[in-house]
Structure 1
């Protein structure tokens, strides 16, 4: 961490107000970006996707649960894996309790992975999650929305991720896709984001960004190397109490 000046409260307030100007600029830019996002054109979904859920087959239309908007968290969990991706789990810990709030604004959020529903259910129980989690192992959904890649695509260099901007080099990738269902029942794909575009959905990262050390990932092999499944973290050393009995 870089050295910091220690100043009076008055000097700190002055510096904080100067920084507030830039924070407001970012907020206004983000609002403009959100308006631009909502104005993007849509694509009609012509495929009849059916997913495996705990109670049997579920169509894409049924995932909306009667609401107009559907947010799909593309959760990395390949059929032959024994547990879900630790990074996607980091996001899932954050959105687990958002579901009722999203529902109040006419939006349903679900997670979809290629692993069989039995594996999803077991891992979900282990993590204590309650959101709807479906398997797309028997359809092309993950491939169509470019978060899963066949061995042939990997071998031929066709594993293009984030709208073709980069090769992913692995069979599974994270993402979020958004859909809208109109009164006639027609479904439209309205938005998807990948890679760093997912950062804005991780509240823990934004809390860390407020701290003096930030995410402090600079010296790691890759930025998220520190992340573990919630039940895999080593307990922090217990420090001596500052109070004496």
Structure 2
């Protein structure tokens, strides 16, 4: 941690108000960016995808559950993995309780992974999640939306992730894709984001960003080395996971 001045309350308020001006600049810039995002052109989805889900076989249009907007969380879970990605699980813990609120605004949020449905259901039960999770094991959805890669693509060392701006060393990658369905039933791809573009969807990270230590990931083998699945953290001796005696 960098050294900090210890000042009077009045001095702290003055410094905080100066920083508040910078925060307001960022908020206005973010609002402008959101407007630009909503104005992006769309691509009509012409390919048929069939998923395995909680109600059986489902098309991409079925994933909307009658709503006009669909958010797909590309959850890293390869067919041969025994459990889901810990980083994607970190995000899933955050959006688990958002689903009804999004539904109230004509938006469905689902997760999609290449692992078979039985594995997804078992892991979801273990983690206590209730959101709909679909298997894309029988289709090319993950590859088409640039979150699953073939061995040859990985070996090539090319920039295959985040719109061709970076490489990726494993077969599965995280991402979010957004779709819109019109009154005639046509489905359009409107947005996708990857890498640090996913950052704003993780409320836990933003809470940490408010603290003096921040994310506190410096010096680790990689930034998220500290992260565990929620049921794998060890509580401090003599205390429960929530800090109670």
The answer (yes or no) to whether the contact 1:153–1:159 under 8 Å persists in 2 is no
Question: Structure 1's 26 and 237: CA in aligned 2 closer, same or farther, altered over 3 A?
Answer: farther
Paired with 1:129 and 1:213, the residues of 2 have a C-alpha distance of 30
The answer (yes or no) to whether the contact 1:74–1:111 under 8 Å persists in 2 is yes
Deviates more, 1:152-161 or 1:27-36: 152-161
Question: Is the partner of 1:24 in helix, strand or coil?
Answer: helix
Paired with 1:96 and 1:120, the residues of 2 have a C-alpha distance of 15
Report the TM-score, using the length of structure 1 for normalisation: 0.95
Paired with 1:136 and 1:152, the residues of 2 have a C-alpha distance of 20
Deviates more, 1:150-159 or 1:138-147: 150-159
Paired with 1:35 and 1:7, the residues of 2 have a C-alpha distance of 40
Alignment of 1:87-98 (within 5 A): 87-98=87-98
Paired with 2:39 and 2:152, the residues of 1 have a C-alpha distance of 36
Displacement of 1:207 in angstroms is: 0.2
Gaps of 5+ in 1: 240-245
CA deviation vs aligned residue, 1:88-115 (integer Å, no higher than 9, x gap): 0000000000001101111000000000
Question: Is the partner of 1:97 in helix, strand or coil?
Answer: helix
Name the residue aligned to 2:32.
32
Q: Are 1:144 and 2:144 matched, yes or no?
A: yes
Paired with 1:65 and 1:19, the residues of 2 have a C-alpha distance of 43
The answer (yes or no) to whether the contact 2:208–2:215 under 8 Å persists in 1 is yes
Report the TM-score, using the length of structure 2 for normalisation: 0.95
The answer (yes or no) to whether the contact 2:69–2:108 under 8 Å persists in 1 is yes
Q: Deviation above 3 Å: which 4+ runs of structure 1?
A: none
The answer (yes or no) to whether the contact 1:149–1:159 under 8 Å persists in 2 is no
Question: Is the partner of 1:167 in helix, strand or coil?
Answer: coil
Name the residue aligned to 2:84.
84
Question: Is the partner of 1:111 in helix, strand or coil?
Answer: strand
Gaps of 5+ in 2: 240-245
Displacement of 1:152 in angstroms is: 2.0
CA deviation vs aligned residue, 1:179-232 (integer Å, no higher than 9, x gap): 000011000000000000000000000000001110010111111111100000
Number of residue pairs aligned between Structure 1 and Structure 2: 239
Paired with 1:73 and 1:227, the residues of 2 have a C-alpha distance of 19
Paired with 1:81 and 1:139, the residues of 2 have a C-alpha distance of 18
Q: Are 1:230 and 2:230 matched, yes or no?
A: yes
Name the residue aligned to 2:113.
113
